[in-house]
A and B are shown apart, each in its own frame.
Chain A
């Protein structure tokens, strides 16, 4: 055996040459070792086989094949190279971040605010918009309404429902339900409970099968005259019946009628309306189909798989038409009625989608501002790192390597910020879910739970990483291109640093984004202020309200009158009560469609719309208690009693609608539901906004409670002091008259008014909070940039001052430099806001989406903050001693 020549020509020893070449891609740390191992093996094999020249071609091929296998070996070692460098980057990054704790803290906090706000709002969007309703195959559940020329959408008639249930080929199931409060008595205190009357098909259709205990209603029980049965909600069962496992078969008493409990709903059951007890709807097919009575209820249906809303809607329409055409003995036919189907999700979401998406957009802007801020911080810190980067570049680090190092630091920051943001989001989400109620986001609040689930976590991770890339990428690329000569010479403070332009761009965009957010919030604030300025027609302060519902034992009118008289007498006598009123029709409570009105001696013209108005039954003191002013005629007196002529008081708008400019006093009307042939108008009172401040004025007819006593009534106490202090006395007064009568919804009128604007306040609070955050971030951003500029130009300031510049000149120099950029940002922001705020139109009240006042105020506010943010660093520059400044590098 002879030793092989180590310097053989590659063509003579291709295998060893291959190892040299392939070795280039092996991670440097492993390279020498790797080459030696392969060399040794191949050489050894060659020795075994004697000299290359003497090898047969098969053995030669074998050696070359083996050395080619080394390529695989080298390739599979590649991840280690990345790993090595990544760990290096990470270690280095941690060191850098720890060396500048202030920078790290501010950056992480800024990002945490951005990510936290985004995660929280996204968790709401996720719960309400993205996540399906908590029913099996919930995408097939639809909400059915009927529309006509006069109504944009009303519950469907029972007759239609029964017909659809029987005939429809497109629906798998259809159900109706209705709600109302009843008095639950028997064991313990009597209380008002919300009762849902549901068709037997509802629960199986929603997939609530089997029940927690017992069973659903049978078809036979869902008929009039069937045995009275009830299903309890989980919460009522637990609270009132202590979770009695043997509840099935026991009886409960509702409005003095006895029902047998057949089941209890599972705890997980969610429904858009809050019901404590469920009873069968028990529509009377004879009556409904014959058209003698018209009942209407909310309607939910389940489409057959694969069918669209349009197909089902078309079928229900044609069934409805046929039904109305062929129905015998119809009192009136609803020939212009059409059905309208929307998904149940869409129906429950209602008006909530738009504000939510606006909020999501707003937090998106916050995140962008946060990114710009952190990018700015990063650039600012990089000024001090110019020298370090230049040295690394001089030592052979490639640009990619430097950029990757910095990007790694950015990603570390963004992950830390994301983690902190997630903690913040957990807190914010629980806050938000406690703020969301039916008054803020509608009925969907009952169905959807706002939680942080996997999708939200994924979203957080995604935006954290995106944020890191966003604020890291551009600075990293910029900084990894250091001008070695300048950086090394100037010690990193020179004007050779090219991040300045980028910083200005970032500052301008921050200001612009903040303007957009501020304008949005400003518009909401203006809307809210305008809304609170609206005169509801009554004075809400110092009013205590409570509701009562008289049970069937008060069916006789005289008993009701007697009860009201006694109760009101006691209430009026309470110390601290200025007036004790009662009404069947309290503002801001559910809206009664009201009855038809016809003026005596005036025949309705063909095609003329009938005048209808809600009809309230009130006591004489009601107007005084609510501070609703008398405009003409007189108010009720105690004399307007059962046996006296029927009298009515009209609201101003209604009086004008019915009698135009004629004097309404003394005119006579037919008022549906008053029980009287004709009713004389005795007075006109001021208008009120029954449905809420942002709604139009509602006309109203008031009747005397002595003439038309209603079973449901709201007590209205005008108090001289704190209304709530009278709550106990109010209950006591009622119970002195009837101890078994529940008093519910005891709250001040102010509270009711405040609840009615809760949705707007919710949006305002959130968007306002975000806008303040944006303002702070933008202010900090401007401050940061100007501080940096001041530091970078200290030397120049020294020269200027040495040449005779005054402090005020220096101050002006820097403020001007900052404000030019701020003004560019403000301009761009106003332009953006002009384009973007129109999506908010539906959320505004009394303000246009391009309200010039808001735009002007917001722009000035931001400029003011910006001037302050420029002033402080500028003052620092102006105070500098020229000698010190000149020495400053």
Chain B
């Protein structure tokens, strides 16, 4: 698939989120408001078409934070081109990006 190929709106939103530096699947869900059943299949598709790349974070980071290592995603150069194209097409893309605070979980009192 060439970078010029058609991108769905949700795929464009996910690219946009990646472009804005949200690299983990759950963060992308938070920022875009899309459900996991949409975000993950879309990430797999984008990865298959070469628009994004995935890597495992270094074990050290995970150990420091006492959790399993997470997988993070990055735009490839093709992906960046595709995002530029998509932004031109979906002019409202940036405005539709929800604010992160909206989905920040809250703690139960007590």
Contacts and interface: CB of A to CB of B under 8 A. Distances in A.
B107 A77 contact: no
A44 B70 contact: yes
A73 interface: yes
Interface string B21-56: 000111001000001111111001000000000000
Contact of A59 (B29, B62, B68, B105): B105
A48 B27 CA distance: 12
B88 interface: no
Nearest to A30: B44
Interface size class of B (residues with CB under 8 A): 20 to 34
Given A41-B26, A54-B108, A56-B106, A47 B65 contact: yes
Given A56-B108, A59-B105, A76-B44, A44 B67 contact: yes
A3 B66 contact: yes
Contacts of B71: 33, 36-37, 40-41
Interface stretch (A64-72, A198-206, A722-730): A64-72
A55 interface: yes
Contacts of B19: none
A14 to B, nearest CB: 15
Interface string B71-103: 100000000000000000000000000000000
Could you say which of A43, A56, A68, A69 has the most chain B C-beta atoms within 10 Å of its C-beta? A69
A335 interface: no
B37 A69 contact: yes
A51 to B, nearest CB: 11
A70 B41 CA distance: 9
B105 A62 contact: yes
A73 B71 CA distance: 15
Contacts, number: 83
A529 to B, nearest CB: 67
A77 B26 contact: no
A76 B41 contact: yes
Contacts of B66: 1, 3, 47
Interface in A48-63: 48-50, 54-56, 58-59, 62
B107 A49 contact: yes
Nearest to B41: A76
A42 B29 CA distance: 12
A71 B107 CA distance: 27
A39 B106 CA distance: 21
A42 to B, nearest CB: 8
Chain A interface, >50% SS class: helix
A746 B40 CA distance: 82
Contacts of B36: 65-70, 72-73
Contact of A45 (B26, B40, B107, B108): B26
A249 to B, nearest CB: 58
Contacts of A67: 36
Contact of B70 (A41, A54, A58): A41
A43 B107 contact: no
A42 B105 CA distance: 13
Given A39-B68, A45-B26, A66-B29, A72 B105 contact: no
A1 B62 CA distance: 14
A43 B35 CA distance: 18
Nearest to B45: A76
Interface in A658-673: none
28 contacts: A1-B66, A36-B71, A37-B71, A40-B67, A41-B24, A41-B25, A41-B26, A42-B26, A44-B67, A44-B68, A45-B105, A48-B105, A49-B105, A49-B107, A50-B107, A54-B108, A66-B26, A67-B36, A68-B36, A69-B35, A69-B39, A69-B40, A72-B37, A73-B36, A73-B41, A73-B44, A76-B44, A77-B44
Pairs of residues from A and B, 3 with the lowest C-beta to C-beta distance, nearest first: A69-B36, A72-B37, A73-B40
Interface of A: 1, 3, 33, 36-37, 39-45, 47-50, 54-56, 58-59, 62, 65-73, 76-77
